[in-house]
Structure 1
Amino acid sequence: MNRPLNSPAIKVVKSVREQVSPEEWQTRVDLAACYRLTAMYGMTEMIANHISCRVPGSHDQFLINPYGMLYEEIDASCLIKVDIEGNTLFNASEYGVNAAGFVIHSAIHMAKPEMECVAHTHTPAGMAVSAMECGLLPLAQTSMRFLHVAYHDFEGIADDVGERERLVADLGDHEAMVLRNHGLLVVGRTVPSTFNLLYRMERACEVQVMALSCNTKLIRPPQNVLEATFDRMKPRVDLPNRNGELAWPALLRKLDRVDPSYRN
């Protein structure tokens, strides 16, 4: 007697895009683009460092990179969703979250609900300036955007949750902070504004390292001119050129010409 063949089991696996809200997916795409741009402009240290963004509609969840992937590999689907207590809520990658990255980023996301995105780098210029007693100097127009920045003293590897309170206290109301003997940290209301701030802070550090290496007397504009310039360069919602929104579509077009896989 012939027996009917059983149909093979078919496992339907939903894509990450199908498992998250449209708002979260768009945030994932923008954050992945930010990682790729950071790599494209040479602001990475292999698999180290982090850029995070709050999950839309939440107050205690954010997206961050898998610890083990290069920035140039990051796409929208691989980003890990965690909460401020350190619980992994969604992870489609084979990696986990770096402890130091969690401490630094959770501190900001907990304390500053108005700031959606946080970026931290270890670039040569940023680390060099972080070791200078003088701090970040207003040597050129780009640098004057950072006339007033925060500083946080080095406490060792930032994997102690006890440091979160001190990080936030030192950051205060600033959008940029020099982590002494460590690197740079910026926070923004959007992913585009955060990348814009990171790029310009890095450029300011590069200018400083180059200028100081010339062993010549440097010109410092009067303080009133510095203050006026700083005020003219601060982000404003109604001026997209100041918060990175004007440049962001052009940056995405640049990425799409090179490799659009960040959208996957």
Structure 2
Amino acid sequence: MNSRAQNNSAQVRDQVTDEEWSLRVELAACYRLVALYGWTDLVYTHISVRLPGPEHHFLINPYGLMFNEVTASNLVKVDMNCEKVIPTEHLVNPAGFVIHSAIHEERSDIQCILHTHSRAGVAVSAQKAGILPISQQSTFIIPSLSYHTYEGVAVRDEEKERLQKDLGSNNFFVLRNHGLLTVGRSIPEAFLNMYTFENACRIQLDAQSGGELVYVEPAVIAGAAEARRINSKGMGANIAWPALIRKAQLESPGYDT
């Protein structure tokens, strides 16, 4: 890390609480992991995190940086109107924050929102039937799945109410003709939700290129959440997150600066 980056990291670290810094490090790791797994669309999607406290402040990526360039200190702190809270030379993307602010405003139960434009995700979002119950991965998604009709690039505040209504209390969101979105009570949960979502889409596209599809029975889908809880020893996303952090440290170091 060069001296300028070191100075910037120290300056930001001095302006934030220990709790915020920890969230910055974890969110930066999440950005690096999204890049490592190939879910990026250059600089055009976002992962946002709600910060603790009554101020309604959020962290989001600097607009114009690749996800593998995101660090704890260059994440941008914004308010509900996407105005910068801490001065920075980095740009933010108000258009990209329309979707995020709408969901954060409505869903006080969630901390993190992860949105992608992956090839598989966009492909399935363009299929009329959406996510099909044809894989184990899909059984974890379908009970908490919503859809939103494409209205063009999300730049209008008037779309927020429809986004909120369509997502409701669910955790998986297909944005038709656009991509995928997951929410989580934590950064690890939002990431692991997207990992499952993305794989369900990839598996579906692969399966559709072959023969007749076999559908999972509704009773199996109804019991999927409990089965997943048992399989994770009740730890949910936290059972895999430490290993993912080790992967980020090994393959994309420097995110925690």
- Provide the TM-score with structure 2 as the length reference: 0.92
Flag the 1:231–1:150 CA change in 2: closer, same or farther, 3 A: farther
- Corresponding position of 1:88: 84
> Larger % of helix: which?
2
Tell me by how many angstroms 1:91 deviates: 4.1
- Corresponding position of 1:3: none
- Count of matched residue positions in the alignment of Structure 1 and Structure 2: 250
**Which residue of 178, 184, 191 maps to 2:180?**
184
Q: Residues of 1 paired with 2:8 and 2:251: CA distance?
A: 32
CA contact (8 A) 2:232 2:239 kept: no
CA contact (8 A) 1:17 1:77 kept: yes
Query: Residues 4-34 of structure 1, C-alpha deviation per residue, up to 9 Å, x if partnerless?
Result: xxxxxxx999521111000000000000000
- Corresponding position of 2:238: 245
**Which residue of 211, 219, 232 maps to 2:227?**
232
The one-letter amino acid paired with 1:86 is: C
Q: Residues of 1 paired with 2:63 and 2:168: CA distance?
A: 28
Which structure's CA Rg is the greater one?
1
Query: Residues 176-232 of structure 1, C-alpha deviation per residue, up to 9 Å, x if partnerless?
Result: 100000000100000011100011100000001111122x11111221122122443
CA contact (8 A) 1:78 1:91 kept: no
Flag the 1:167–1:58 CA change in 2: closer, same or farther, 3 A: same
SS in 2 for 1:15: helix
CA contact (8 A) 2:8 2:73 kept: no
SS in 2 for 1:67: coil
Structure 1 range deviating more: 128-137 or 49-58: 49-58
Query: Residues 70-105 of structure 1, C-alpha deviation per residue, up to 9 Å, x if partnerless?
Result: 00000000111111123211243x321112211011
Q: Identity over aligned residues, as a percent?
A: 44
CA contact (8 A) 2:68 2:252 kept: no
Structure 1 range deviating more: 252-261 or 175-184: 252-261
- Corresponding position of 2:255: 262
CA RMSD of the aligned region, Å? 2.1
Q: Residues of 2 paired with 1:152 and 1:91: CA distance?
A: 35
Structure 1 range deviating more: 250-259 or 161-170: 250-259
- Corresponding position of 1:6: none
CA contact (8 A) 1:129 1:136 kept: yes
- Corresponding position of 2:199: 203
Flag the 1:221–1:77 CA change in 2: closer, same or farther, 3 A: same
